[in-house]
Amino acid sequence: MADEREPLTVPRFTKLKNSGRKIIMLTAYDYPSAAIVDRAGVDGILVGDSLGMVVQGRSNTLPVTLDHVIYHAEMVARSVRHALVVVDLPFLTFQLGASKAIESAGRILKETAAQAVKLEGGSEQAKLIAALVDAGIPVMAHLGLRPQSVRVRGGYRVERDRDRLLADADAVQEAGAFAVVLECIPAAIAVEITQRLDIPTIGIGAGADTDGQILVFHDLLGYSPDERLPKHSRKYADLRSVISDAVQRYAEDVQTGRFPGPENAFS
């Protein structure tokens, strides 16, 4: 678990766009998982409001609060030595205007060791992004499928409006965002945006040609009570089976007297 790499700052993260290699991001929500992900060599860890679904078991991200993300971000950022830690601004913690957004994002930076926030939104949030950056708060933007807009869209849908996506990408860069997540958009539009912007594009369901990729920790590891996997994801392990198998073997050992053994007992 030794990791001699320097901590990644926001400017160094942005420079990875022209480094000739892909930027690797993953979500994480607690101390041990973030430590393992960090030491495994990712560039960025997102404490996503996806925690509402994969950790809290809710059907969408809307109920996630600022206190929830701060609780998780504090643990994550305390365990990380190298990766840039970015924290999602949950639903209604920034949409009410610049002062509310600065207050919310400011709490994240003051109460955790995270370096930046992420917010869902394009042109309509450009002024707000600029206000946050002016206040000293680095912002990662998030375009395409925006889970916090699930009620407006009536579900989770691929965003195919090319003109809107290009305008949004220009607007968030112009406003000072240091990177942008592109979620579930056609690969060809993601290429166009990636070539057009100076800041890195981090794709999820946006094809292979963005500057980097991000996945949700639980999807990558098969760490979920059900087997469904989003189309844009890939399962690299099956923790559901690993955990279930371990628990069953433990129960069997207790029932048959094989656990605890003499080595586990005190005299």
Chain residues in the site for ligand KIV (CB under 6 A): 27, 46, 48-50, 88, 181, 183, 204, 214, 216
183 as an active site residue: the answer is: yes
Q: Which is nearer to ligand KIV, 137 or 217 (CB)?
A: 217
Give me the least distance between CB of 18 and ligand KIV, in Å please: 22
Q: Which of 183, 192, 227, 252 is catalytic?
A: 183
What string of H, E and C letters represents the secondary structure of 114-154?
A: CCEEEEEECHHHHHHHHHHHHCCCCEEEEEECCHHHHHHHC
Q: Which is nearer to ligand KIV, 50 or 93 (CB)?
A: 50
Give me the least distance between CB of 46 and ligand KIV, in Å please: 6
Residue whose CB is nearest to ligand KIV in the complex, by number: 48
> Measured between alpha carbons, how far is residue 28 from residues 46, 150, 177, 193 in Å?
6, 23, 22, 27
Q: Which is nearer to ligand KIV, 50 or 194 (CB)?
A: 50
Size of the chain, expressed as the number of residues it contains:
267
Q: Which is nearer to ligand KIV, 3 or 207 (CB)?
A: 207
Give me the least distance between CB of 68 and ligand KIV, in Å please: 12
d(CA 121, CA 143): 6
Give me the least distance between CB of 64 and ligand KIV, in Å please: 9
Of 125, 71, 69, residue with least CA distance to 96: 125
Answer yes or no: are the C-beta atoms of 137 and 106 closer than 8 Å.
yes
Of 264, 10, 237, 267, residue with least CA distance to 133: 10
What 8-state DSSP symbol labels residue 21?
S
Q: Which is nearer to ligand KIV, 102 or 142 (CB)?
A: 142
> Measured between alpha carbons, how far is residue 250 from residues 75, 186, 263, 264 in Å?
29, 46, 16, 14
Cα dihedral value 31, 78, 75, 111, nearest 10: -170
Cα dihedral value 76, 80, 86, 87, nearest 10: 10
Give me the least distance between CB of 25 and ligand KIV, in Å please: 8
Catalytic residues: 183
